[in-house]
Amino acid sequence: MELKINLDTEETNQLTEYLLEILNQQQKHFFPDHQTVDKPVSIGIYSETKLLGGILGRINDQSLYVSLLAINPNNQGNNLGTQLLRNIENVAVENRVINLLLSTRSYQALPFYQKNGFKVYGKLKDMPFLGVDTYYLVKRLKYV
């Protein structure tokens, strides 16, 4: 047996696929009737052809993980972030998602997310580095 540490993207992708296959088999064993959902979501917001910002996420089963949300600083304060959150929430509900999840750092937009109905469920102090905290948030959804 050999332990191999690798930072190569191609080999990391191969390992990722292998590990996901193992986990998918385990899930099928315990939940044989469950159909796994795994798909990306991206929404851009434009003024004519100019990109002003956007939101990226991934639906995984009945959760949608928002990985990035950003608005060009020149366009902040115009409710564009709120529009993006509303739209990704609509996508989530259409896809039977019950958990809309994201994280933000202490210098970013915690009050903004709370104003939009997200609740903090976790906080890591000094993450990703000393003096910065990361907050983990969830918004529970009800689909029709």
A 10 A CB-CB count for 133 gives 15
In this structure, CATH architecture of domain 35-140: 3-Layer(aba) Sandwich (3.40)
Q: Where are the domains of the chain?
A: 35-140
Return d(Cα 120, Cα 110) in angstroms, integer.
9
Is the confidence at residue 63, as pLDDT, over 90? yes
The DSSP secondary structure of 83-102, one letter per residue, reads: HHHHHHHHHHHHTT--EEEE
Tens of pLDDT along 91-127?
999 999 999 999 999 999 999 999 999 999 999 999 9
Is residue 20 within a helix (H) or strand (E), and if so which, with residue range? Answer: helix 9-30
